[in-house]
Amino acid sequence: MQCLRLKHILQACKSSARIHKQRAKSGQASDMGMKSYWDAFYRSRRPRDLGDSNCFEWFFPYSETKDVFQSAFANVAENLPGNDFNLIRIAELGCGTSELSMELIQDHQSSCCITCVDFSTAALEHNQKNVKSNARFHGSVAGHLAYVAADVCHLPFSENSFDLVFEKGTMDALLKSENTRPKSDQFLLEAIRVLRPGGMFLQFSDEAPELRLDLLERMKSHVWQREPKHISVSFKNISHNDALEYFVYTVQYGKM
């Protein structure tokens, strides 16, 4: 019996070492979790020609996430707690210079307000300029967007602040940085802490389910210890071609 248990422990250690190796291998840089890395990255980008908003879009643009957001909106709107304007409160964690949030507001006819968080001041400055100068976005979009400079592992929001929280590539960046485990664990716990019960958290990622689901399961058990709330985790392959695989991970928080 003892021997069997030891064998299981050894197997678990081996598989966690393998996962760690796989993540390290796929990582492009160990400083992808650092503000200085991202500030330099966004500052190094120059408009190619007049009118080019020069945004950098990780993985894919809004158009490829449309269906996912369509059903997420329907889901969270179902039991939207009345707020002053009946708007869906959304947070994007690690927005970079992506235009996804702007397009989301446009597409949903301003039925939501989005708080975009990033610790890169270079990215946030770029976005503020983009919203002001890009004819597509000022007017209805600008009034529904807020930018907050903050660390996604220590969010400056209270519990219950959002109906929907999402991220694209942010946890992937944290997983390629040093102290991977504590940072990604903290990030997941923060994303759930700021959600209201009945809310939803979406992760767009290129990380395969055999790696990501373990982390989401760990988060589930941490949250359960803090507060016994039902959490369900699911995922979907949203790849548009065979060469690259992308997934959306959905965490439904506190809904039976």
Ligand X SMILES: C[S@@+](CC[C@H](N)C(=O)[O-])C[C@H]1O[C@@H](n2cnc3c(N)ncnc32)[C@H](O)[C@@H]1O
Residues that bind ligand X (CB under 6 A): 33, 38, 56-58, 94-96, 98, 118-120, 123, 151-153, 168-170, 173-174
Q: Which residue, 80 or 149, is less far from ligand X as judged by CB?
A: 149
Q: In angstroms, what is the minimal distance from the CB of 100 to ligand X?
A: 6
The neighbour count for residue 99, using CB atoms within 10 Å, is 22
| Strand pairing report for 195-205 and 247-253 | antiparallel
Would you say 12 or 40 has its CB closer to ligand X? 40
Q: Which is nearer to ligand X, 56 or 224 (CB)?
A: 56
Smallest distance, Å, CB 65 to ligand X?
A: 10
Alpha helices (runs of H) in the chain, residue ranges in sequence order: 2-26, 35-43, 66-78, 100-107, 121-133, 170-175, 180-193, 209-226
C-alpha span between 140 and 125 (Å, rounded): 20
Strands 112-118 and 145-149: parallel
Residues 6 or more apart whose Cβ sits within 8 Å of residue 221: none
Shortest Cβ 5–ligand X spacing (Å): 38
Report the nearest approach of ligand X to the CB of residue 152 (Å).
4
Phi, psi of 96 (to 5 degrees): 55, -140
247, 212 Cβ separation under 8 angstroms: yes
The whole-angstrom separation of Cα 90 and Cα 72 is 11
Residue placing its CB nearer to ligand X in the complex, 123 or 231: 123
Q: Which is nearer to ligand X, 170 or 252 (CB)?
A: 170
Identity of the residue, 83 or 128, whose beta carbon is nearer to ligand X in the bound complex: 128
Rounded least distance, CB 79 to ligand X, Å: 27
With beta carbons less than 8 A apart as the criterion, state whether 72 and 202 touch. Answer: yes
Least gap, CB of 7 to ligand X (angstroms) = 38
